Amino acid sequence: MGTWPFVTGLFDLSGRVAIVTGGATGLGLQFATGLAEAGASIVLCARDGARCARAAEELAGLGVRTLGLACDVRSEADIDAVVDKALAELGRIDVLINNAGTARSGWPQQLELDDWQAVVDVNLTGVFLFCRAVGRAMIEAGRGGKIVNVASVAGLRGAPAALMNSVAYQASKGGVVILTQDLACKWARHGITVNTIAPGWFPTEMTEQHIERRGDALLERIPLGRFGGSDDLKGAVVFLASRASDYVTGQTLAVDGGQTAW
C-alpha cells in the first residue's frame, strides 16, 4: 500500500488557479473544462469578453470559481490586466494554458507580410508575452507553477499543400515548441515546468471548413481513423497542469490519433 496521496491525488487541482487564453470556445473550452473538473478555479480570456463571461458562468456550475475577461494576447496592457485581475480576485496563479491562436492560408510565395505578421503576433509573440507576465507572477510568489503552451502537429513537420497550406501557422507553432523548451530550461530553477500540447485535427470553428473540404484525406493520415473529440485533450492538460507531471518539462505531447507516428 502506498502512502497518501494515492495516484489520483496527483491529478487533483483543488485550490489551484488556471488561466486559459482563447478559452471561451473550441479546444480552449475543452482545456478549461478538464481543469475545472479536476478542481481548478478558471480564468477564461479572449478578445470577446462577453463570450468568455458566458462560458465562465457555465463552468462555475462545476463548483469552481471562474472569471471571464476580455484580452487581446497581442497587447501587453491587456495581458497585465488579466494577470492583475486573477491575482486580485482569486489570489494566485498556478497554471497558464496558452491556447489563443489564428491562421491564414495561402501559398508561401504569395503570402502577404501583413498576413504572416498577424499569425506570428498571436501564435508566437502572444504566447511569449503571456508566459512572461505569468512567469513573473509565479517567480514572485515562489510556489512554482505549470505553463502549458498549445502548439499543433502542424508545427512539428511540413505538410503537402493538398492537406495544409498555412506556412505562417506552421512556422509559428514550431516556434512555440522551441520557446517552450527554452523557457523550461530557464525557469526550472524557479519550480516552473513548461510543456507543450500539440493537438492533431479537432473539429473547431477554425478547422471546420478545412475538415469539410479535406476530411477524407486527413483521416487517411490518422491511424486511429477519427478526428479528436470533446474529451480527448482533457487528460493531457490535467496531467501537465498537475503534480503528476512534476518531473516533466520542456516536452511536447502530441494528441493526434497517431498522425505523427506514420
Positions marked active-site = 169
137 and 93 Cβ atoms separated by less than 8 Å: yes
CB under 8 Å to 111, separation ≥6 — which residues?
A: 104, 167, 168
Q: Copy the grid coordinates of residue 9.
A: 491525488
Of 133, 131, 58, 137, residue with least CA distance to 99: 131
> Within a 10 A sphere around the Cβ of 7, how many other Cβ atoms?
8
C-alpha distance from residue 20 to each of 17, 116, 164, 231 (Å): 10, 24, 27, 17
Convert 74-103 to b/e letters by CB count within 10 Å (16 or more is b). Answer: eeeebbebbbebbeeebeebbbbbbbbbbb
Phi, psi of 220, rounded to the nearest 5 degrees: -65, -20
